[in-house]
């Protein structure tokens, strides 16, 4: 078992070497003095990211090239920009970008670790074959028992039988231990192999073996040192907002934790970086859309739509491909700075500069970043709709007076430490915009909805019409320690035909309002003292021809 443990430790060590912090990208002007560049800042958009990395390099006198290699292959090469700050007067020329064969050391280390595991698994298979041969040998010994040859026959001697039995017991125990040891080691190795393969897939996206080498021609009258910065757009990354919401009963405030969730499998880790989360959407294009002619026609189903399923026919869908021109590289200036492609933040496009250094590995997993902890003064409101649900819901009415735009996203709702559920914020909430936040139901107010009376009778000339009477009762009981105001919502039926009439409508008490936007809805605002009970009664009749069946009642 010590040998197994040692081997697993070696595999774990190799795996740790395979997972360096940050992608290794080298920078040099000649092979003798390579240096590393590191990711300094990342601006994450909704479906991509702008990476800014830098490194220091020695600049020989005269004409030459600064080499930066190897950038991950999963980037937009048209987005690559370079700039440099030097302690000498330095001029740069247009970038040269080459897509070359390259396997980073981090990927090589992972592949070597996988190969080590495969070699060991092969050894274990050979050991198992040896155990099978050993099985056959022990079976033959068992068949012989304690017998000895006597002329042409075998004679069983009791003394030999006992020693044979002890031999078989010892050997079978040893074999079982070896088989168990092999099974345990194989299970651990296969688990580690899956982890390494998953890591390899996240680093490469299944496209290992290539990368971009950037060459930056320069001119310098004297030797010096330059800080080279490379910027580029990379894919396989996304971020989205989410929230935790709590209502503080004592302070009467809504506590809102604002998070950004970042996922990336770009092929390089982002270690100890400045992180910016942006709502800009560069993939939507730079030009306004084109309006085609809007035709009105009489609808007639196509044969494939009407009969396609029966006849097994279908129509090919039309598709269009929109292609945008790639940006061209700009010229030079005195301080060797190119025009760079930056996200423009204005209007509805918002940027969150995350405080402190962040680390986001290229593992494709969700990494939650705290954007801000917000607190809003709120007015609580209780609402119940007994006809649909007898629970009483608490609504916090508040105003976004923070410096943050609240973007659409999931809100996890808590009451104290108790998780109630998740809802989705459907639209953005701007600065100083009022909004309501549902905070789940409460248990201190009980609501009961019941049908008190219902009967039918004939009416009109010789009983041509039928009249149905309905009566309902809502009972509210407060177990709260303080006075509460509750909004009760209900409705009565609304007729869409003259032959159906809703009559004799009576409420006790009368509703405080009738919703103009939804005909038939009524609202009461009821105040309850501690331990107080109140009732709301609703009564109406529906008259309609006796030979008709009415939907909705």
Q: What is the pTM of this model?
A: 0.62
Residue 465, in any domain of the structure? yes
Which residue range(s) make up the domain with 124?
107-204
In order of 258, 377, 433, 457, 540, the CA distances from 403 in angstroms are 12, 15, 12, 64, 51
- For 260, the token pair is 């950004």
Would 301 be classed as within a structural domain? no
CATH number of the domain encompassing residue 497: 2.60.40
Q: What angle do CA 78, 80, 86 make, to 5 degrees?
A: 150
pLDDT band per the 50, 70, 90 thresholds, residue 320: very low
Does 226 reside within a domain? no
Out of 204, 219, 249, pick the residue that ends a domain. 204
Omega of the bond leading into 509 within 30 degrees of 0 (cis): yes
* C-alpha distance from residue 471 to each of 102, 156, 491 (Å): 80, 99, 13
| pLDDT, tens digit (0-9, with 9 covering 90-100), for 164-221 | 677 777 877 888 888 889 899 999 999 999 988 887 776 655 555 677 888 888 888 8
Query: Poorest-confidence range of 31-45, 130-144, 228-242?
Result: 130-144
CA dist., res. 335 & res. 91, Å (int)? 7
Last residue of a domain, one of 204, 229, 249: 204
First-last CA distance in the chain: 76
Q: What is the pLDDT of residue 103?
A: 67
Last residue of a domain, one of 204, 233, 254: 204
Residue 508 lies in a domain: yes
CA atoms within 13 A on the CB side of 497: 9
DSSP 8-state secondary structure symbol assigned to residue 337: B
* Residue 498 forms part of a structural domain: yes
For residue range 267-285, list pLDDT tens digits in order: 788 999 999 998 876 654 5
| Longest distance between any two alpha carbons in the chain, whole Å | 125
Cα dist from 462 to 274, 305, 465, 534, whole Å? 85, 52, 9, 42
Q: Is residue 263 part of a domain?
A: no
> Considering the domain boundaries, does residue 298 fall inside one?
no
Q: How far apart are CA 501 and CA 540, in angstroms?
A: 10
User: Could you tell me if residue 281 is inside a domain?
Assistant: no
Domains of the chain: total: 2
3-state secondary structure 393-445: EEEEEEECCCCCCECCEEEEEEECCEEEEEEEECCCECCCCEEEEEEEEECCE
354 close to 258: Cβ distance less than 8 angstroms: no
């Amino acid at each position: 078992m010590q040998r197994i443990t040692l081997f697993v430790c070696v595999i774990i060590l190799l795996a740790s070497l395979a997972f360096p912090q940050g992608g290794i990208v080298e920078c040099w002007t000649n092979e003798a003095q390579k240096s590393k560049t590191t990711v300094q800042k990342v601006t994450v958009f909704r479906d991509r990211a702008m990476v800014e990395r830098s490194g220091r390099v020695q600049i020989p006198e005269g004409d030459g090239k600064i080499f930066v290699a190897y950038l991950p292959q999963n980037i937009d090469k048209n987005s690559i920009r370079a700039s440099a700050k030097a302690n000498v007067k330095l001029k740069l020329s247009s970038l040269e970008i080459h897509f070359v064969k390259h396997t980073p050391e981090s990927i090589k280390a992972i592949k070597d670790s996988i190969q080590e595991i495969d070699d060991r698994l092969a050894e274990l298979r050979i050991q198992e074959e040896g155990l099978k041969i050993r099985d056959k040998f022990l079976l033959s010994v068992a068949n012989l028992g304690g017998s000895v040859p006597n002329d042409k026959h075998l004679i069983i001697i009791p003394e030999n039988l006992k020693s044979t039995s002890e031999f078989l017991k010892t050997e079978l125990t040893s074999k079982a231990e070896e088989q168990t040891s092999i099974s345990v080691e194989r299970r651990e190795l296969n688990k580690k192999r899956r982890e390494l393969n998953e890591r390899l897939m996240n680093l490469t996206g299944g496209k290992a073996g290539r990368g971009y080498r950037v060459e930056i021609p320069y001119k310098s009258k004297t030797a010096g040192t330059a800080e080279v910065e490379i910027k580029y757009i990379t894919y396989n990354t996304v971020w989205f907002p989410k929230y935790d919401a709590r209502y503080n009963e004592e302070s009467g405030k809504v506590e809102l934790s604002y998070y950004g969730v970042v996922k990336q499998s770009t092929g390089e880790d982002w270690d100890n970086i400045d992180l910016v989360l942006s709502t800009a959407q560069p993939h939507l294009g730079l030009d306004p859309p084109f309006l085609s002619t809007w035709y009105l026609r009489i609808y007639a189903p196509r044969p494939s739509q009407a009969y396609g399923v029966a006849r097994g026919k279908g129509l090919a869908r039309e598709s269009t491909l929109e292609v945008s021109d790639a940006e061209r590289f700009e010229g030079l200036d005195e301080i060797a700075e190119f025009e760079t492609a930056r996200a423009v933040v204005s209007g509805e496009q918002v940027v969150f500069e995350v405080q402190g250094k962040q680390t986001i590995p290229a593992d494709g997993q969700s990494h939650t970043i705290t954007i801000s902890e917000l607190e809003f003064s709120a007015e609580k409101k209780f609402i119940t709709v007994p006809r649909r649900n007898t629970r009483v819901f608490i609504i916090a009415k508040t105003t976004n007076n923070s410096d943050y735009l609240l973007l659409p996203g999931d809100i996890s709702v808590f009451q104290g430490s108790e998780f109630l559920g998740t809802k989705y914020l459907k639209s953005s909430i701007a600065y100083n915009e009022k909004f309501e936040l549902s905070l789940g139901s409460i248990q201190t107010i009980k609501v009961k909805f019941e049908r008190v009376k219902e009967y039918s009778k004939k009416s009109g000339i010789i009983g041509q019409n039928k009249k149905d009477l309905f009566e309902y009762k809502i009972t509210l009981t407060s177990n709260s320690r303080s006075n509460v105001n509750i909004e009760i919502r209900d409705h009565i039926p609304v007729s869409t035909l003259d032959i159906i009439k809703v009559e004799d409508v009576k409420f006790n008490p009368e509703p405080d309002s009738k919703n103009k936007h939804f005909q038939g809805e009524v609202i009461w605002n009821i105040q309850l003292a501690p331990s107080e009970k109140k009732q709301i009664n609703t009564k109406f009749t529906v008259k309609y021809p006796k030979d008709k069946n009415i939907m909705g009642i």
